[in-house]
């Protein structure tokens, strides 16, 4: 049975494995292969350990000292197969909205309901926190992710940016938004 729960520091390695493996599978042809090859589970584990420690005590996790996000993991048979981070919007024009800052499922768990469970949980938590709308950034050209989000009611709002993903510069991203006051649709296929 799939369990969605708050992340603990002990989960950092599992989160890192999902992060690195999903990048290497999803971003082929979208990010330079040398960058993907350099992704390190060890480096990501250290990063996630610190991030989770901060999150658990309500400290800022955005790297700028301003916004604290939560992290939940999807666990199946004791193995972390996905994660999502979410909280208040971090971008200057989105402080009135919630944000899903990251959502990843391990490639071995794609199309098995992990992403659907994680995004449903994140949307519900954002609603509970009082957000009436939310946004997320998705890598331009990542048609699998874009299709998944659109199937869950997320739509492009026309905003785009050239962002960075840690050690990766120049990521072309597009913003998707969702009205969280609309009823949740758990029946939408992934």
Mean pLDDT by 10 residues, the chain (190 residues): 97 98 95 92 96 89 76 97 95 86 97 97 97 96 96 95 65 94 54
**What is the per-residue pLDDT for 30?**
92
Q: How buried is residue 94: exposed, middle or buried, by Cβ count under 10 Å (0-12/13-18/19+)?
A: middle
pTM over 0.95: no
Domains and CATH numbers, the chain: 2-179 (3.40.630.30)
Q: Are strands 98-105 and 79-88 parallel, antiparallel or unpaired?
A: antiparallel
Rounded CA-CA distance 165/156 in Å is 20
**What is the per-residue pLDDT for 97?**
94
**What is the per-residue pLDDT for 63?**
66
Which sign, positive or negative, has the C-alpha torsion 136, 140, 142, 148?
positive
**What is the per-residue pLDDT for 121?**
98
Q: Which residue has the tokens 């739509």?
A: 155
Task: From 23, 6, 26, select the one nearest 83 (Cα to Cα).
Answer: 6
Which sign, positive or negative, has the C-alpha torsion 171, 174, 116, 101?
positive
């Amino acid at each position: 049975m799939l369990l969605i729960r708050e992340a603990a520091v002990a989960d950092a390695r599992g989160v890192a494995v999902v992060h690195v493996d999903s990048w290497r599978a999803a971003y082929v042809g979208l990010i330079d292969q040398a960058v993907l090859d350099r992704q390190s589970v060890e480096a990501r584990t250290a990063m996630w350990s610190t991030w989770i420690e901060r999150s658990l005590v309500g400290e800022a996790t955005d790297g700028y000292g301003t916004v604290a996000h939560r992290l939940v993991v999807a666990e199946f048979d004791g193995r972390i197969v996905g994660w999502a981070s979410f909280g208040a919007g971090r971008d200057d024009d989105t402080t009135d909205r919630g944000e899903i800052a990251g959502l990843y499922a391990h490639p071995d768990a794609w199309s098995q309901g992990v992403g659907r469970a994680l995004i449903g949980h994140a949307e519900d938590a954002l609603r509970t926190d009082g957000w009436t709308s939310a946004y997320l950034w998705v890598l331009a050209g990542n048609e699998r992710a874009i299709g998944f989000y659109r199937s869950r009611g997320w739509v492009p709002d026309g905003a785009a940016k050239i962002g960075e993903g840690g050690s990766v510069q120049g990521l072309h991203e597009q913003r998707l938004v969702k009205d969280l006051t609309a009823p949740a649709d758990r029946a939408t296929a992934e």
